[in-house]
Amino acid sequence: MLAAFPSPGLATRENTPRPQSSWPIVDTSGFNNDPSKPKANRRCCGLPCLGFFLVMLVLLIIVAAAVVVPLELLVLNKPRTSPSGVTGSEACSQNSTTACQNGGTSSLSTGTCSCICTNGFTGSTCSVSGASGCTTTNLATDPAYANVTLGSSIPRLISAAQSNFSIPLFGNLILARFNSASLSCVTENALVTFEGQSVRVGAAADIVHPTSTGATPSSTGSNRLRRGQSTSAATATPAAATANGILYDPSPQHATDTAPSPTTTAAVSSPSSTVAVTEEVLDFARVAVLFILQQETLDSAVTAQSALQRFFSSDTTTDAAAQNVNIGNGNTVNLVAFRVHLGNGSVGR
């Protein structure tokens, strides 16, 4: 059997050509083996690498926006309601301590429950009846509120503020501020009382003579009304003022409230000349106090009223001083141009 195989070295002779291989022969003569020549740019998915990364970045931004925007709108900024779907004002009305009585409407302002009282009732929950100094009216700025109860000096100022001084007043917000502090109608009128009067007397250009300086109400007796007191109080003081955090009521002003006329304050010759305090200037001061109450707090409005009354009661009211009256909390008023300057801007004629 071994003799049938050829001996080693005899089967394949020397210099015998190899059989043809089935693998293709690659011609390497065309490759660029010269290191001095630039190499071809790399490509990713048929695009230049930079273009590929830019496309991927745009896709990531689109995906992130598709996730974040619905999350922001539907989850983070979703209106806060109770698990049963009750809104804020409904929650106020369902709470026995904040529910409005006698036809009052619940309101939620800056996270505080308050009432819009109607039919002559006042107080934080509209439970006080027969208060003096009140009137009932429909809010021209919000027709949804009818027959609301507020101080008799307030409705005219709310309805005419925009047309007379280009200052927007919203009755529902002002009433919510009043009632949340349990202010009586007499106190509401006191907040807009200057020079002993809470309403316009005569024509807009009529001169109002200032009262003597230092006329401050007494801090004793039955004429003081603390914040949070729901009953009205009789008073003999000429204007609202504060002392040790006490808000004082003025005596009711029995005067004829005439229609506003398109007049301006008296012209002045120089910044040092004396400015005439007219009925229109006092009306603007009343509107300015209500605007500060609406935009900020009751305390800010009381501070503004006191500062303005001090200015009107001073011996000399110069033009320069009237154009920049400091009313506290970083707020000022211009009694010549009829503008209110708050921290976030200015409004007015």
Using CA atoms, how far apart are residues 187 and 115, in angstroms rounded to an integer?
Answer: 17
Instruction: Judge whether 122 and 135 are in contact, CB under 8 Å.
Output: no
The closest alpha carbon to 302, from 243, 223, 236, belongs to 243
| DSSP 8-state assignment for residue 269 | S
DSSP SS3 for 20: coil
104 found inside a domain: yes
Q: Give CA separation, 248 vs 5, 55, 221, 255, 345, in Å.
A: 133, 70, 11, 20, 30
Report CA-CA distances (Å) from 48 to 32, 37, 38.
22, 20, 16
Amino acid at position 300, single letter: S
How confident is the model at residue 326, as a pLDDT?
93
Report d(CA 124, CA 184) in Å as an integer.
Answer: 10
Model confidence over 58-81: pLDDT tens digits?
A: 999 999 888 888 777 776 665 554
Q: Quick one: pLDDT at residue 234?
A: 33
Give dist(CA 61, CA 221) in Å, integer: 70
In a domain, 27, yes or no: no
- 90: in domain: no
**Angstrom distance (rounded) from CA 248 to CA 193:** 11
Structural domain includes residue 121: yes
Distance CA 303, CA 195 (A): 16
Q: How far apart are CA 251 and CA 238, in angstroms?
A: 6
Identify the pLDDT of residue 246.
Answer: 39
Q: pLDDT value at position 168?
A: 92
CA angle (291, 297, 299) in 5-degree steps: 110
Helix (H, G, I), strand (E, B) or coil at 151: strand
Structural domain that includes position 112: 95-348
Domain tally for the chain? 1
In a domain, 158, yes or no: yes
Contact indicator for 303, 174 with CB cutoff of 8 Å: no
Flag whether 70 is in a domain. no
How is residue 267 annotated by DSSP?
Answer: P
Asked if residue 84 is part of any domain, the answer here is: no
Residue 145, domain member (yes or no): yes
Per-residue confidence in pLDDT tens, the chain, 349 aa: 777 766 665 555 556 666 666 666 655 555 555 566 566 667 777 778 888 889 889 999 999 888 888 777 776 665 554 444 445 678 888 887 888 988 888 888 777 888 889 888 888 888 888 788 999 988 877 777 888 998 999 999 999 999 999 999 998 889 888 888 888 899 999 999 998 889 888 888 888 876 544 333 333 222 333 333 333 333 333 444 443 343 444 443 434 444 444 444 433 445 556 778 899 999 999 999 999 999 999 999 999 999 999 998 887 678 888 999 999 989 999 999 999 998 878 888 8
Looking at residue 207, what DSSP letter applies?
Answer: B
Q: What is the pLDDT of residue 40?
A: 62
pTM, two decimal places:
0.61
